[in-house]
Amino acid sequence: MLKATQILVRSIALAACAASIASLSACGQKGPLFLPTDPAAQGRATLPEALGISSPKTPVTAAPVVKPSPLTDSENSAETDAKP
């Protein structure tokens, strides 16, 4: 009768062999990978769009430029007093 450690070691070895055989077999696709450029491919969804995680296509606008406010009289007099 097999002990628990023997069963565990054999199951791990079998799983490792199965994983290596599966990774070596790949998917059967041959040839280089490429991005399709034909006109029929232009309307297809991209992966983020297919997964529903794409952001809405809104134009990106720059943040408004905020001009600094002019110095008040009290701040202006404090600066002139500090200058030698």
Q: Is 37 helix (H, G, I), strand (E, B) or coil?
A: coil
Query: Looking at the whole model, is its pTM more than 0.75?
Result: no
**Dist CA 67 CA 75 (whole Å):** 17
Q: How many CB atoms lie within 10 A of CB 71?
A: 11
Mean pLDDT of 28-36: 75
* Cα angle, residue 47 at apex, residues 44 and 49 outer, rounded to 5°: 75
Answer whether residue 54 shows pLDDT above 80: no
pLDDT at 73: 62
Q: What rounded mean pLDDT belongs to the chain?
A: 74
Mean pLDDT of 23-42: 76
Percent of the chain with pLDDT over 90: 8
Mean pLDDT of 71-75: 62
**Dist CA 28 CA 37 (whole Å):** 23
